[in-house]
Amino acid sequence: MNNPAEELTTIGCAIRLDQVCLEIEGKQVIHQLSLDTNVRRLGVIGRNGSGKSTLSRLLSGLIDTTSGQLEIAGFNPFKDRRAALREVGLLFQNPDHQIIFPTVLEELTFGLRQLGQDKTEAKKNVLEMLSAFGKEHWQDVHCSTLSHGQKHLVCLMSIVAMKPNLIILDEPFAGLDIPTKRQLQRYLDTFSGSLIHISHDPDDLQNYDQLLWLEAGQVAALGDSDEVMSRYLAAMHELGESDDISDLSS
Ligand SMILES: Nc1ncnc2c1ncn2[C@@H]1O[C@H](COP(=O)(O)OP(=O)(O)O)[C@@H](O)[C@H]1O
Ligand SMILES: [Mg+2]
């Protein structure tokens, strides 16, 4: 899993958006968004409602653009669902929107069956995944009885089991206790594929190759992590000091 040669490279999955627009119920949620990057660790920051979760759904092909071109590793993830399933795993912001099966075993097995694995192979891989996270005892547990953080871990394990080349994480640490967060972080540190990580916490995005700052569905900045983060934090503090609270809502 952990190839030292790969750790040195910052080259990852190619992501190309050209003038992408997305309109939902008459509202321009993503507006003429263009970017071209292939870093292995891309952080995404931005205020509530700036379009971060929507962008993650576009990149994983769950929704289509209204106009413009979008490519992940050379294919359009909405049009080529098979390739998207193989290449991209999305961890939803809210695990309740992701989990569809009653038990942990069924939830983790589903993705592998979709990839074409037979029942025996899928079950073997799921048990290996549970064991890698020290959660063998979860296989027959009902997802509905798990905490928010535990559900998040189930969702992450089901994505990781599918071995995608790109994992998109939409605020993955929200609601996790410190040991679980550390466990997830350790896993992410060893993941040799590409990561797109949406977070509000600067600490989560340390050592990332680039940061994308979204503002009202557009790119406010894309570039060196430290530089973009300090500009973002300065802008957010300035807004927070503003007397006009309407500025803070979107
Ligand atoms: N399905 C939807 N229906 C209506 N509005 C939506 C829908 N999805 C997103 N939006 C709107 O798009 C904007 C961006 O939302 P979102 O991508 O969730 O932002 P973020 O994740 O940055 O907080 C918000 O104003 C939100 O209300
Ligand atoms: Mg969001």
Tens digits of residue pLDDT in 126-179? 999 999 888 999 999 999 999 888 898 899 999 999 999 999 999 988 777 888
pLDDT reported for residue 221? 96
How would residue 184 be classed by pLDDT, with cut points 50, 70 and 90? confident
Using alpha carbons only, give the angle 215, 36, 25 rounded to the nearest 5 degrees. 45
Residue 2 has pLDDT above 50, yes or no: no
Q: Quick check: is 250 in a domain?
A: no
Q: Quick check: is 236 in a domain?
A: yes
Query: Cβ(51) to ligand 1 under 6 A?
Result: yes
- The secondary structure of 22-47 as a DSSP string is EEETTEEEEEEEEEEEEESEEEEEE-
The domain tally of the chain equals 1
Q: Quick check: is 249 in a domain?
A: no
Query: Cβ(52) to ligand 1 under 6 A?
Result: yes
Our CA dihedral for 119, 109, 163, 196, rounded to 10 degrees, sits at: 160
Q: Quick check: is 44 in a domain?
A: yes
Closest by alpha carbon to 235, among 49, 28, 55, 45? 45
Q: Quick check: is 58 in a domain?
A: yes
Domain that holds residue 133: 4-244
- Ligand 1 mutation pick, 33, 54, 170, 232, max ligand atoms within 8 A of CB: 54
Q: Quick check: is 46 in a domain?
A: yes
The runs of H, that is alpha helices, within the chain are: 4-8, 52-59, 81-87, 104-114, 119-132, 148-161, 178-190, 225-241
H/E element, 17: strand 11-24
Half-sphere exposure of 199 (CA within 13 A, CB side): 22
Residue 191 has pLDDT above 70, yes or no: yes
4-45 pLDDT per residue, tens: 444 456 788 999 999 999 999 999 999 999 999 999 999 999
Angle between helices 148-161 and 119-132 (to 10 degrees): 130
Gap from CA of 93 to ligand 2 centroid (Å): 6
- For residue 145, the domain's CATH number is 3.40.50.300
pLDDT reported for residue 9? 67
Q: Quick check: is 232 in a domain?
A: yes
pLDDT reported for residue 178? 86
Q: Quick check: is 17 in a domain?
A: yes
How would residue 217 be classed by pLDDT, with cut points 50, 70 and 90? very high
pLDDT reported for residue 233? 94
pLDDT reported for residue 185? 85
